[in-house]
Amino acid sequence: MKYIIIFVVIFSSLNISANSSYNSDLVRDFIDEMHNKHKFDKEELQKLFSTIKEEKKLKKFFKKAPERRLTWNGCELKEKKCINYKGLFVNKSNIENGRKFMSDNSKILKKAQDDFGVPKEIITAIIGIETRYGKNLGKFKTFDTLASLSLGPNKGRRHQFYKDELENFLLLCRENNLNPSLIKGSYAGALGKPQFISSSYRNYAIDFDGDKYADLWGSNADVIGSVANYLKRNGWKRNGKILTDLTKDNDQSYLEKLSKKTYKPHIYYEYLHKNNITSRESIDFKEKLSVIKRIEGNDKIYSFGHNNFYTITRYNRSRLYALAVYTLAEEIKIQ
């Protein structure tokens, strides 16, 4: 009996210690705010915070994010810990599974393409890159993750962003009758097969299978429609170009300079054409473009980036992410 009592005392003290990080003014203020703004029950929120298990390795996951340590398809000698981004996502497995996903979901992909103007291979490529077509949805408890990143002792410089996402996550759970203590996602709080953050889920997720519920975990139709809706509402142009190859006799030094600027289209093609930066494809002189550089082995490749290339970066703010989506889409395209 003595040992049982000691165990209970030790366990209780450990439990208090584990939860003391969230017995703070920041947490109390957040709970008050959720109660005042959205009528959440204070005791229920306190219970949620009291059961948080701090994920102390979150910062390490952010530091290891591929976008931070990679090149497109080749590493220079001076680069350390370089990751081949193209090899990471545009590989045999992703291509084969992407073609299968397109075949299995051909009707709903066609409907999404017709309704939103987003090519079915682009929709598929995003789902493939985000979660391997739904096979890797994330194992982190979303409430714990967002609370840690916004209100916990290890919160970072983007704590306000994650605080807003925590608010949206709780609203999302209430609106969809979900238990916030059971939902899991990525280390950054992204959810479901398309890895929407909570605010994106609430703003862009749609019911595309007609059951009056937008399910980004179990319904491929809703996932496909929601990805297409997201891109459309963030600027996707039906039948618009994504990347355009340049002619080989362009000024390489000038291209190198242009490629270091923003990947948001900002230079009129008329100006580029006058400076001998041209394409064999037909481009309106009044269209704004960017110059996108990538390494293929030992070669530097430059392309024009169009509005739709930039729109893909609204999903993930990375030039290399957009390159991966475009390249994977070209590989899995079914004629």
| Average pLDDT of adjacent 10-residue blocks, the chain of 335 residues | 38 43 92 98 96 73 58 63 83 97 98 98 98 96 94 87 98 97 95 98 98 97 98 98 88 88 95 92 97 86 96 94 97 81
How much is the pLDDT for 61? 62
Query: Which residues lie below 8 Å from residue 20, measured CB to CB, with a gap of 6+?
Result: none
For residues 191 and 50, membership in a common domain is answered with yes
Quote the CA–CA distance of 126 and 132 in Å, as a whole number: 9
Annotated active-site positions, please? 130
How much is the pLDDT for 251? 78
Number of domains the chain is built from:
2
How much is the pLDDT for 51? 92
For residues 247 and 229, membership in a common domain is answered with no
Element (H, E) at 301: strand 299-305
For residues 212 and 248, membership in a common domain is answered with no
Element (H, E) at 174: helix 159-175
How much is the pLDDT for 31? 98
Of 183, 213, 233, the position where a domain reaches its end is 233
For residues 296 and 189, membership in a common domain is answered with no
Sign of CA dihedral 237, 242, 244, 250: positive
How much is the pLDDT for 78? 62
For residues 156 and 266, membership in a common domain is answered with no
- Taking residue 226's Cβ as centre, other Cβ atoms within 10 Å add up to 27
How much is the pLDDT for 11? 35
Quote the CA–CA distance of 299 and 316 in Å, as a whole number: 26
Q: Which CATH number does the domain housing residue 211 bear?
A: 1.10.8.350
* Residue 143 within any structural domain of the chain: yes
For residues 177 and 222, membership in a common domain is answered with yes
* Residue 187 within any structural domain of the chain: yes
How much is the pLDDT for 53? 83
For residues 160 and 277, membership in a common domain is answered with no
pTM as predicted: 0.89
Of 186, 203, 233, the position where a domain reaches its end is 233
For residues 164 and 277, membership in a common domain is answered with no
Tokens at 196, concatenated: 């929407």
For residues 145 and 201, membership in a common domain is answered with yes
For residues 227 and 144, membership in a common domain is answered with yes
* Residue 248 within any structural domain of the chain: yes
Quote the CA–CA distance of 139 and 216 in Å, as a whole number: 16
Residue-range definition of the domain harbouring residue 279: 243-305
